[in-house]
Structure 1
Amino acid sequence: MSREQQAVASARRAFETGRSKSLEHRVRQLKNLQRFLTERRRDICQAVKKDLNKSEVGVQMYETLGLEEEIGLAVRKLKEWAAPRPVEKNLLTVSDSVYIKAEPLGVVLIIGAWNYPWAVTLQPLVGAIASGNAAVVKPSEVCVHTAKVMDELLPLYLDKELYPVVTGGVPETQELLRQRFDHIFYTGNSAVGKLIMAAAAKHLTPVTLELGGKSPCYVDSKCDVAVACRRVAWGKFTNCGQTCIAPDYILCEPAVQQRLIRELQKAIEEFYTDDPKTCPDYGRIVNQRHFRRIVSMLQDSTIAVGGDNDEEDRFIAPTVLRDVKPDAKVMQEEIFGPLLPILTVNGLDEAIRFINKGEKPLALYVFSDDDKVIKKMRDETSSGGLLVNDCLVHYSVSSLPFGGVGNSGMGCYHGKYTFDQMSHLRGCLIKGLKMEAMNNMRYPPHTAKKLGWARFFVLKNFNFGWIGRLLLLAVVAVLAAAAVQRYHLLEKYYS
Structure 2
Amino acid sequence: MNPHEGLVSRLRAAWLSGKTRPMEYRVAQLEALGRFLDEKKQDILEATALDMGKPPFEVELSEISICRSELNHTLNNLGTWMKDEHVQKNWVTQLDSAFIRKDPYGVVLIIGPWNYPINLLLVPLIGAIAAGNCAVIKPSEISRNVERLVAETLPKYLDKDCFAVVTAGVEEATRLLENKFDYIFFTGSPSVGRIVMTAAAKHLTPVTLELGGKNPCYVSDNCNVHNVARRVAWGRFFNAGQTCVAPDYVLCSLEMQEKLLPALREAITEFYGPNPQESPNFARIVGDKHFQRVRALLNSGNVAIGGQTDTETRYIAPTVLVDVQQDDPVMQEEIFGPILPIITVASMDDAIAFINARERPLALYVFSSCKKVVNQVLEQTSSGGFCANDTIMHMTLTSLPFGGIGQSGLGRYHGRFSFETFSHPRSALLRGIGREALNDPRYPPYAARRLPLLRAATETKRRAVCAIL
- With the shorter chain as reference, the TM-score category is over 0.9
Per the alignment, residue 87 of structure 1 pairs with 87
Q: How does 1:40-439 map to 2 (within 5 A)?
A: 40-439=40-439
How many Å separate the matches in 2 of 1:219 and 1:85? 44
How many Å separate the matches in 2 of 1:440 and 1:120? 56
Residues 92 and 274 of structure 1, relative CA distance in 2, 3 Å threshold: farther
SS in 1 for 2:136: strand
SS in 2 for 1:18: coil
Per the alignment, residue 489 of structure 1 pairs with none
* 8 Å contact from structure 2 (residues 96, 429) kept in 1: yes
CA apart distance, 1:108 = 0.4
CA apart distance, 1:70 = 1.0
Query: Which amino acid in 1 is paired with 2:437?
Result: A
How many Å separate the matches in 1 of 2:462 and 2:432? 23
How many Å separate the matches in 1 of 2:385 and 2:405? 9
SS in 2 for 1:383: coil
SS in 1 for 2:47: helix
Query: Which amino acid in 1 is paired with 2:109?
Result: L
Aligned residues: 463
How many Å separate the matches in 1 of 2:407 and 2:259? 33
CA apart distance, 1:4 = 2.7
CA apart distance, 1:22 = 1.7
Query: Which amino acid in 1 is paired with 2:209?
Result: L
Q: Which segment is superposed worse, 334-343 or 320-329?
A: 320-329
SS in 2 for 1:455: helix
How many Å separate the matches in 1 of 2:462 and 2:98? 17
Residues 424 and 411 of structure 1, relative CA distance in 2, 3 Å threshold: same
TM-score, normalised with respect to structure 1: 0.91
* Runs of at least 5 residues in structure 2 that lack an aligned partner in the other structure: 464-469
What do you get for the CA RMSD once the two structures are aligned?
A: 1.4
SS in 2 for 1:432: coil
Per the alignment, residue 466 of structure 2 pairs with none
How many Å separate the matches in 2 of 1:5 and 1:433? 43
SS in 2 for 1:179: coil
* 8 Å contact from structure 2 (residues 300, 321) kept in 1: no
Per the alignment, residue 16 of structure 1 pairs with 16
Query: Which amino acid in 1 is paired with 2:67?
Result: L
Query: Which amino acid in 2 is paired with 1:344?
Result: T
* Runs of at least 5 residues in structure 1 that lack an aligned partner in the other structure: 464-495
Query: Which amino acid in 2 is paired with 1:330?
Result: V
CA apart distance, 1:437 = 3.4
CA apart distance, 1:446 = 3.4
How many Å separate the matches in 2 of 1:166 and 1:159? 15
Per the alignment, residue 443 of structure 1 pairs with 443
CA apart distance, 1:460 = 4.8
Q: Which segment is superposed worse, 209-218 or 431-440?
A: 431-440
Query: Which amino acid in 2 is paired with 1:117?
Result: P
SS in 1 for 2:382: coil
How many Å separate the matches in 2 of 1:88 and 1:279? 60
Q: Which segment is superposed worse, 8-17 or 378-387?
A: 8-17
TM-score, normalised with respect to structure 2: 0.96
SS in 2 for 1:281: coil
* 8 Å contact from structure 1 (residues 4, 172) kept in 2: no
Q: Which segment is superposed worse, 83-92 or 127-136?
A: 83-92
Query: Which amino acid in 2 is paired with 1:26?
Result: R
Query: Which amino acid in 2 is paired with 1:262?
Result: P
Query: Which amino acid in 2 is paired with 1:291?
Result: F
How many Å separate the matches in 2 of 1:139 and 1:112? 5
For each residue in 1:141-182, what CA deviation from the matched residue of structure 2 results, as whole angstroms up to 9, or x when unmatched?
Answer: 000100000000001111123111011210110111011100
CA apart distance, 1:136 = 0.4
For each residue in 1:107-135, what CA deviation from the matched residue of structure 2 results, as whole angstroms up to 9, or x when unmatched?
Answer: 00000000000000111111111111000
CA apart distance, 1:2 = 5.6
Query: Which amino acid in 1 is paired with 2:77?
Result: K
How many Å separate the matches in 1 of 2:365 and 2:433? 57
* 8 Å contact from structure 1 (residues 400, 414) kept in 2: yes
Query: Which amino acid in 2 is paired with 1:111?
Result: I
CA apart distance, 1:223 = 1.4
For each residue in 1:349-388, what CA deviation from the matched residue of structure 2 results, as whole angstroms up to 9, or x when unmatched?
Answer: 1111111111110001111122222222112111101111
CA apart distance, 1:3 = 4.6
CA apart distance, 1:301 = 1.1
Query: Which amino acid in 1 is paired with 2:111?
Result: I
* Higher Cα radius of gyration: 1
